[in-house]
Amino acid sequence: MFFSKMESLGNDFMVVDMTFKKYHFSTNEIVHLSNRNYGVGFDQLLLIEKSKLNNIDFFYRIFNANGEEVEQCGNGVRCFCFFLYKKKIIKKRIISVMTSKIKMICKILDNFEILVNMGKPNFIPKKIPFLANEEKKIYSLKIFEEKVYFSVVSIGNPHCVLIVNEIDTYNVKKIGSILEKHNLFPNKVNVGFFQILSRNKIILRVYERGVGETKSCGSGACAAVAVGIIRGLLDSKVSVILEGGVIKIFWKGLGHSLFMSGPANHVYDGLIYL
């Protein structure tokens, strides 16, 4: 099986073109392939599939390193579209793609960064899903005798977002692993932690469900900015600093689509026997 290794800001992917060849990856195969010592090594596996809809160029599926299929990946969609363009699978620079849940429009810019219309952020608990009696901007939980305050939002996938004072010293792994699997989130959740530097700049760390902390997370950057704007703490254009680099987010607020802009890179092509 031929594949390509792609990355965006340190968030890495194994991309497989399934438009002419069908193969069912088992959970064990995905876990083995994601292993950085014995496999290809990746945060997510991206599978390209033919579209059955006239207004959609391609479908694609996303699997986390633990083998679980997920609905969305912001860095992944940029890598996915850059792969299509680089491999000349598609020649146009505006590409419509769809996962199991959402549709996105991607534009490859002149500097080869990819601008993505991520759709409208959703704060309704049952749409995330999050078990709550009413919609609020801020929720709280007691963890290890300490009250933790957070917001929830869907960017096509579920996110729990915390604002912290010192991002470098915050225990992202400990709190992230607890919230990721908390019973208030029926489908588990991605957990973002961000520190505000100004109304146009934040630092973000993300504990991704099924993966752990990653060097960057595109949908996590979208979620953090959406929460910051809805809480009146950020402006409509925000640079999000992650360990792997910077993502730019643009959002005018409720009722508007959110846009994400960032790089995508092809690392190498490979052949593997399964």
Which candidate in 73, 79, 106, 160 is catalytic?
73
Could you count the other beta carbons within 10 Å of the beta carbon of residue 138?
Answer: 11
Which candidate in 79, 81, 217, 222 is catalytic?
217
Q: Which two tokens stand for residue 216?
A: 């960057």
Report the SS3 class of residue 210: coil
Q: State how far the Cα of 45 lies from the Cα of 94, in Å rounded to an integer.
A: 23
Residue 217 annotated as catalytic: yes
Q: Which two tokens stand for residue 146?
A: 């300490």
Residue 73 annotated as catalytic: yes
| Distance (Å) of CA 132 to CA 125, 140, 157, 229 | 6, 11, 17, 22
Which residues lie below 8 Å from residue 12, measured CB to CB, with a gap of 6+? 5, 6, 41, 42, 43, 267
What is the pairing mode between strands 201-208 and 237-242? parallel
Enzyme catalytic residues: 73, 217
